[in-house]
Amino acid sequence: MPFNFHRLRIPDVVLIEARSFGDERGLFRETWKASEFAAAGFDLQFVQDNHSRSVRNVLRGLHFQRPPHAQGKLVFTLSGEIFDVAVDIRTNSPTFGQWVGETLSGDNGRALWVPPGFAHGFVVRSELAHVLYKVTDEYAASCDAGILWNDPALNIDWGVDAPLLSPKDVVQPLLKNIDTGFVY
- Say if strands 3-7 and 128-135 run parallel, antiparallel, or are unpaired: unpaired
Burial of 103 (0-12, 13-18, 19+ CB in 10 A): middle
Rounded distance, CA 111 to CA 76, Å? 4
Residue 155 has pLDDT above 90, yes or no: yes
Q: Determine the Cα angle at 14 with ends 42 and 10, to 5°.
A: 120
pLDDT in tens, 157-172: 999 989 999 999 999 9
Rounded distance, CA 139 to CA 71, Å? 8
Lowest mean pLDDT among 21-35, 73-87, 106-120, 143-157: 21-35
Closest CA to 78 of 3, 130, 32: 130
DSSP code, position 167: H
Q: Point out the residues that are catalytic.
A: 63, 133
Q: What is the mean pLDDT of residues 32-56?
A: 95
H or E, element range at 37 = helix 34-39
Task: Assign domain 3-177 to a CATH class.
Answer: mainly beta
DSSP code, position 25: T
Lowest mean pLDDT among 24-33, 47-56, 57-66, 118-127: 24-33
The pTM of this model reads 0.95
Burial of 130 (0-12, 13-18, 19+ CB in 10 A): middle
Within 10 angstroms of residue 34's Cβ, the number of other Cβ atoms is 12
Query: Where exactly are the structural domains of the chain?
Result: 3-177
User: Do the Cβ atoms of 32 and 44 come closer than 8 Å?
Assistant: no
Within 10 angstroms of residue 183's Cβ, the number of other Cβ atoms is 10
